[in-house]
Amino acid sequence: MKKILPILLLLSLYACTTEQAKPVQTASDNVFMVVLGIAQDAGYPQAACTKVCCKDLWNNTAHRRQVTCLGLVDKEAEKVWLLEATPDIKFQMEQLAACLPSRETHLPDGILLTHAHIGHYTGLMHLGREAIGAKEVPVFAMPRMKNFLQTQEPWAQLVRLKNIAIQNLQADSTLVLSKNLKITPFLVPHRDELSETVGYRIEGPSKKGLFIPDIDKWNKWERSIKKEIQEVDFAYLDGTFFKNGEIPNRDMSLIPHPFIEESVALFDDLAMEEKKKITFIHFNHTNPALNPKSAERLELLAKGYRLAEEGERQGL
């Protein structure tokens, strides 16, 4: 017996680290956020990747992941919104519609964009003439993003044909989506070649959350991410790369993101309660945290962090 106890203890510790805490949504939640994709812009697997990260995924759909996207659902108002228009939008619209089956339309009541990198807006193409031929779907965009869509083809055609109706977003200005839901875009430093980049603060009747899928480095931001985390109930944060050197033969300083290793070091002095609010998302195909059995993933879970999973819901 004396020998068995420590083994049992070890086993139970191991069990704790392989399964992460479930996000909080109760059956009574009428307002919630749902995760519809967790991968970086290029998805998982990534085009032409022959490396170990992707090679088995071409024939195995179970482990594939969609591009980062969140859905917002207000059952009381019977409305749904998409955060991001990704290359996987046709699946994500279905998954979002399934959250509120009483609605006839499978189109969202609005699409809120963060920036003009391929994983975040090119899904808009499905609203155009070659696809849905939608009528004035509200697309919420910041000033540079709006200008980009209005002036660059083929996006300008969506505006001309009134497939989309661009709604103005302003940094730090709160948008009321419904009686229950508010959302506030805020600027974050990102490469910004074609548009500015925003993150969102989401506010429901009882919970608040943060969504920052892309940011160059935490210390380039004039705000303190640790303070921002303390002011919300949950935070979905840029987890693109695990550590420097992850993509061989590419200068990673040209595609800056806070490495998960750096974020974990920065958040080290946060109380466990705060760490548990943090869920990493927007994983590059090379990120070992995508692998359910990797040591990197288990280490993050053991430290109290979460890794976003498709289909998970956060009550708001």
Question: For residues 72 and 181, what is the distance between their CA atoms, to the nearest angstrom?
Answer: 9
Least distance in angstroms from the C-beta of 279 to Zn ion: 16
What are the CA-CA distances from residue 200 to residues 62, 105, 190, 193 (Å)? 30, 26, 14, 20
> Cβ distance 31 to 74 under 8 Å?
yes
Q: How near is the Cβ of 21 to Zn ion at its closest, in Å? A: 26
- Among 65, 79, 117, 313, which residue sits at the site for Zn ion (rule: CB under 5 A)? 117
Beta strands in 38-176 (DSSP E): 69-74, 79-83, 110-112, 137-141, 164-168, 175-176
Distance CA 8, CA 193 (A): 54
- What 3-state DSSP class applies to 200? strand
The residue range among 38-46, 58-66, 69-77, 161-169 that interacts with Zn ion, by the rule CB under 5 A, is 38-46
Query: Minimum CB separation from Zn ion for residue 53, in Å?
Result: 3
Kindly state the smallest distance separating residue 238's Cβ from Zn ion, in Å.
8
- Residue 238, strand partner residues: 281
Residue 116 as a binder of Zn ion (CB under 5 A): the answer is: no
Pairing of strands 79-83, 110-112: parallel
The verdict on 198 binding Zn ion (CB under 5 A) reads: no
Segment interacting with Zn ion, rule: CB under 5 A, options 109-117, 167-175, 216-224, 252-260: 109-117
| Residue choice 29, 41, 203, 233 for contact with Zn ion (CB under 5 A) | 41
Answer for which of 49, 100, 132, 194 binds Zn ion (CB under 5 A) is 49
Shortest Å, Cβ 247 to Zn ion: 10
- The minimum distance between CB 231 and Zn ion, in angstroms, equals 24
Alpha-carbon distances, residue 207 vs 95, 233, 243 (angstroms): 23, 6, 32
Residue 305 half-sphere exposure, CB side, CA atoms within 13 Å? 27
- Residues composing the chain: 316
Please, which of residues 213-232 interact with Zn ion by CB under 5 A?
214
Binding mask 151-180 for Zn ion (x = CB under 5 A): ------------------------------
Question: Based on CB atoms, which residue is closest to Zn ion, 67 or 96?
Answer: 67
Q: How far is CA 102 from CA 36, 78, 118, 142, 164, in A?
A: 19, 8, 32, 32, 24
Q: Which is nearer to Zn ion, 285 or 306 (CB)?
A: 285
Whether the CB-CB separation of 203 and 231 falls below 8 Å is answered with no
**Residue 257 touching Zn ion (CB under 5 A):** no
Nearer to Zn ion, 37 or 304 (CB): 37
Interacting residues with Zn ion between 277 and 296 (CB under 5 A): 285
Binding site for Zn ion (CB under 5 A): 41, 46, 49, 51, 53-54, 117, 119, 214, 285
